Amino acid sequence: MRIKVLSKPQIKTYTLALFIFCSFIYAPVFSDVPEDSWYADAVVWAGLLKITDGFGDGTFRPDENLTREQFAVLLFRFAAIAGYDNMARAELSGFADADEISDWAIDAVSYAVATGLIEGTSPTTLDPRVHISRAQCAAIITRTALGLSA
């Protein structure tokens, strides 16, 4: 399955719309995201669109590292909001640690594996609860932007 890619004008339009929206409207979605933080606009945008819903206590926990399964959820929700087909699913039973995937992340991880956005850290390991490295994040974002699938 190929993922739709955005054209340069679309990216610029969406970025401008995001900038305008976040510049004029600040809705504190999470209690621990200061309005003047460098990441506030992006977190508010993602929170308002339900790309991220933070934690049950109303926090975003910006100082915590992101796990591979959390990143898969962000990709999955973004795909839905951006109009991508996010119905693809992979069989995860071939991964020895598939039972470690949190219930709330199973569909997202299955989607990310099915589309080739996220690969195992080995042929039999996903490491869903391991913190995602910058290199892994960059590779996934590149695959997403280029519309590649495995």
45 and 106 fall within a common domain: no
Residue 31 vs residue 150, higher pLDDT? 31
53 and 88 fall within a common domain: no
Q: Which domain holds residue 30?
A: 1-64
Task: Tell me what pLDDT residue 148 has.
Answer: 44
Measured distance CA(75)–CA(78) in Å, rounded: 5
Residue 68 vs residue 20, higher pLDDT? 68
pLDDT band at 143 (very low <50, low <70, confident <90, very high): confident
72 and 140 fall within a common domain: yes
In our burial notation (b when 16+ CB lie closer than 10 A, e otherwise), range 50-62 reads: ebbebeeeeebee
47 and 104 fall within a common domain: no
CB distance 47 to 54 below 8 Å: yes
Residue that is last in its domain, among 30, 47, 64: 64
CB distance 78 to 101 below 8 Å: no
Tell me the whole-structure pTM to 2 decimals.
0.79
C-alpha to C-alpha distances, 86 to 43, 110, 112, nearest whole angstrom: 22, 10, 9
User: What's the token pair of residue 9?
Assistant: 């004008």
59 and 88 fall within a common domain: no
* Number of domains the chain is built from: 2
